[in-house]
Homo-oligomer: A and B are copies of this chain.
Amino acid sequence: MYLEKITSPADIKGYGAAERQVLAREMRDAMLRRASVHGGHFGPDFGAVEAIIALHTVFDSPRDKIVYDISHQSYPHKMLTGRVEAYLDEAQYDAVSGYTNPEESPHDFFNVGHTSTSISLATGLAKARDLAGRQENIIAFIGDGSLSGGEALEGLNVAGEMDTNFIIVFNDNDQSIAENHGGMYPQLRRLRETNGTAPDNLFRAMGLAYRYVADGNDTEALIAAFSAVKDSTHPVVVHIRTQKGKGYKFAEEDPETWHYRQAFDIETGALKHLYTDPYQTATVDFVKEQARKDPRFVFLAAGTMGGIGLTPADRAELGSRYVDVGIAEEHAVAMASGLARGGARPVFGTYSTFFQRVYDQMAQDVAVNNSPAVFVSVGASLYYMNDVTHLGFFDIPLFSHIPNLVFLAPTSLAEYEAVLRWSVEQTRHPVMIRMPVGGYEESPYPVRTDYGDLNKAIRVAEGAEVALIGVGNFAALASAAAAELAGEGIHATVVNPLYLSGLDTALLDDLRANHRLILTIEDGIVDGGYGQTVAAYYGMDAGIRVRCYGLTKEFHDRYSSRELARAHHLTAAQIAADTLTALRRP
């Protein structure tokens, strides 16, 4: 076996074609076994094996610097740069992150996980090299799906003006996470069909030199192409045609399903553990029902199936009522504003971590214009993705302080469905909804049908002395803490605020009469969040103390949700204990 002996790219530089072929097979075998046990990105890595072997054969990493877009295709790179044990030894599967990571290796330059950033990051490395008078090659490795993102297109334009060494490997597998969308893709297909000679070449239109490799899974052809552009003194694109998921039948046949895959059976491809998210299912059902009921309804996605797992069959059923704009969240938000202004009823869904990309579009395109578009934010919780690049709990400071935008955190499936329905029926406000996150117990709070009385919070339990305000996912936690306190003879008030974008000041004022301690509990960072608006509201009231529960402002990374929650006292027992202590020492 070659693979287990590789400690750095130097080890493969003397390989011949036959050895490289064996190496590629060994890498795929290792990735397959690891993925079947550990889960992770699949298709992007299986498609990029030969390209990454060729890169590390031709270039001299880390002197030459490769920046991977999203970096979900960097497993082969990690195997060749001193981290092979994490792919061979099951006990070490967790020793590497799913993305490039400078703390792991000097061959990695950035923690990357959001899309379309590689070219821009790499132009900075190239300019820094030029300022320092160094000569290394700078390479951005980017897939066709990422090219629909504005930051990547900005990067192409800037790169096209750089009169210096800059190499873009454009890894074209004719697939985004789902199918590609946008006018550039038929043109890219024409390039593939003409061996790179079709007219109106997007890269040349941006001022870049261009070269095409018809078989991007042919290591030898790639080595020839990369050798030809090595030490280039001008920016150049090497367009390589690869096959996503190559080498594993199921992934080749169904690249969407196999973009990312949880642990599975190698023989059948079947998942080992089936999990259905009731909130996703409810959202899909709602979207399809609404599309049937209302001809003005349209659902927007930005390359991630709306964050709610719309299947090809769902999308086919929705037809023209489903618009995937490619990985282009900014466009999606602005288009939603245009749709609302034109009388349609748009909903745009994506993950909380990707909503971070659209603050300005939400503020300017939507909120300034008070366009009644609806935004469904998925995974806004510490109980969701835990990679530092995919955290979803920074959204409350980001979106609750935009004027006009109504930001809602429903606490149960029933409340979520009611809020969804209201949001698409009303036309007075833009609305953002934190889709609840599964895995916790729901509180059977009363559910309204009209949410037009903005900021109206609901007292779900009447008590005295202590009030717990549990936001969204953490409403049940507030109720559970109240139950613990009841066991100690303290009958706390529990409030479901629902609205993150404003306070129910009448309710807060009422609490003054017979409460001395207010606890806010939110599934997000405390800084700039909901609880702090409550604390500030009571700031001048010496009779009321406020404690805000939530996460510290940190890039928590690959954490155990359970441990992170405990460390932040986000358990009912801890909240109850804190409260007892606080009541004893006023």
- A546 near B554 with CB under 8 A, answer no
Quick check: A127 and B528 within 8 Å, CB to CB? no
Is A120 touching B365 in the complex (CB atoms < 8 A)? yes
Q: Is A323 an interface residue (CB 8 A)?
A: yes
Residues on B with C-beta less than 8 A from A125 are 338-339, 341-342
Instruction: Say yes or no: A121-B335 contact (C-beta < 8 A), given A341-B110, A539-B546.
Output: yes
Q: Which of B110, B132, B360 contacts A356 (CB 8 A)?
A: B360
Q: How far is the CA of A586 from the CA of B129 in the complex (A)?
A: 62
Q: Are A531 and B527 in contact (CB under 8 A)?
A: no
- How far is B586's CA from A34's CA once the two chains are assembled, in angstroms? 65
Q: Is the CB of A403 within 8 A of B553?
A: yes
Q: State whether A528 touches B401 (Cβ < 8 A).
A: yes
- Which of A196-204, A223-231, A421-429 forms contacts with chain B? A196-204
Q: Is A398 an interface residue (CB 8 A)?
A: yes
Extra inter-chain contacts (4) besides given A158-B328, A205-B205, CB under 8 Å: A124-B344, A131-B298, A154-B331, A161-B181
Return the CB mask of A303-334 against B: 1 if under 8 Å, else 0: 00000000000000000110101101011001
Chain B residues with Cβ under 8 A from A130's Cβ?
Answer: 320
Instruction: Tell me the minimal C-beta distance from A551 to chain B in angstroms.
Output: 10
Contact of B554 with A403 in the complex, beta carbons under 8 Å: yes
Contacting B at CB under 8 A, from A335-392, are 335-344, 346, 356-357, 359-361, 363-365, 367-369, 388-389
A102 contacts the other chain (CB 8 A) = yes
In the complex with contacts A110-B337, A184-B157, A200-B204, A528-B539 CB distance below 8 A: no
Report B-chain residues with C-beta under 8 Å of the C-beta of A131.
295-296, 298, 320-321, 344
Complex Cα–Cα for A509 and B128 (A): 44
Q: Please, what's the 1-or-0 string for A282-308, where 1 marks a CB less than 8 Å from any CB in chain B?
A: 000000000000011010000000000
Q: A117 contacts B365, CB within 8 Å?
A: yes
Binary B-proximity of A424-461 (CB < 8 A = 1, otherwise 0): 00000000000000000000000000000000000000
Closest CB in chain B relative to A235 CB, distance in Å: 8
Which residues 120-147 of A sit at the B interface, judged by CB distance below 8 A?
120-132
User: Does A278 interact with chain B (Cβ within 8 Å)?
Assistant: no
With A124-B336, A341-B110 already in contact, the answer to whether A187 and B200 are too (CB < 8 A) is: no
For A359, the closest partner residue in chain B by CB is B359
A340 CB, nearest partner CB in chain B, Å: 7
A319 → chain B closest CB, angstroms: 11
A533 interface hit (Cβ, 8 Å)? yes
Whether the pair B298, A127 counts as a contact (CB closer than 8 A) is yes
B-chain residues with CB within 8 Å of residue A531 when the two chains form the complex: 536
Contacting residues, chain B, for A255 (C-beta < 8 A):
none
**Complex interface: chain B residues within 8 A of A112 (CB):** 364
- Closest CB in chain B relative to A396 CB, distance in Å: 8
Q: Is the CB of A182 within 8 A of B200?
A: no
| Residues on B with beta carbons closer than 8 Å to the beta carbon of A325 | 154, 158
Given the known interface contacts A365-B117, A403-B554, the answer about A150 and B154 at a Cβ–Cβ threshold of 8 Å is yes
Question: Are the CB atoms of A148 and B156 closer together than 8 Å?
Answer: no
Q: List 6 A-B contacts (CB under 8 A).
A: A122-B338, A153-B154, A160-B183, A184-B207, A404-B555, A538-B539
The reply to whether B363 and A394 contact each other, CB–CB distance below 8 Å, is: yes
Q: Does A165 have its Cβ within 8 Å of any Cβ on chain B?
A: no
B582 touches A540 (CB 8 A): yes
A151 is an interface residue with CB less than 8 A from chain B: yes
**Residue of chain B at shortest CB distance from A150:** B150
Chain B residues, CB < 8 A from A121:
334-335, 337-338, 341, 365
Known: A359-B356, A539-B548, A542-B586. A124 touches B159 (CB 8 A): no
A127, B335: Cα distance in complex, Å: 9
Q: Which residues of B contact A127 (CB under 8 A)?
A: 298, 323, 335, 338-339, 342, 344
A338-B124 in contact (CB<8A): yes
Question: Among B154, B161, B335, which residue has its beta carbon within 8 angstroms of that of A158?
Answer: B335
Tell me the complex Cα distance, A154–B150, Å: 5
CB-contacts of A501-536 with B (<8 A): 525-529, 531-533, 535-536
Partner of A201, one of B114, B205, B545, B582: B205
Once bound together, how far apart are the Cα atoms of A581 and B535, in whole Å? 21
Q: How far is the CB of A584 from chain B (nearest CB, A)?
A: 13
